[in-house]
Amino acid sequence: MEGKVVIISAPSGAGKTTIVRHLLEKPSLKLSFSISACTRQPRPGEVNGRDYHFLSVDQFKTMIDDGSFLEWEEVYKNNYYGTPKSEVDRIWNSGHNVLFDVDVMGGINLKEKFGEKALALFIMPPSIEVLRQRLEMRGTEPAEKINSRVNKATLEMKFARKFDYTVINDDLTVALNETESLVAAFLK
Beta bridge partners of 101: 8
pLDDT in tens, 130-146: 888 888 888 778 888 88
DSSP string covering 142-157, please?
Answer: -HHHHHHHHHHHHHHG
pLDDT tens-place string over residues 90-107: 999 999 999 999 889 889
pLDDT range class, residue 148, cuts 50, 70, 90 = confident
Please measure the distance between the N-terminal and C-terminal CA atoms of the chain and give it in whole angstroms: 17
d(CA 29, CA 188): 9
Amino acid 122 reads F
Superfamily holding 5-187 = P-loop containing nucleotide triphosphate hydrolases (3.40.50.300)
Q: Where are the domains of the chain?
A: 5-187
pLDDT at 1 over 60: no
What is the arithmetic mean of pLDDT over 114-123?
97
Contact assessment for residue 79 and residue 72, using Cβ atoms and an 8 Å cutoff: no
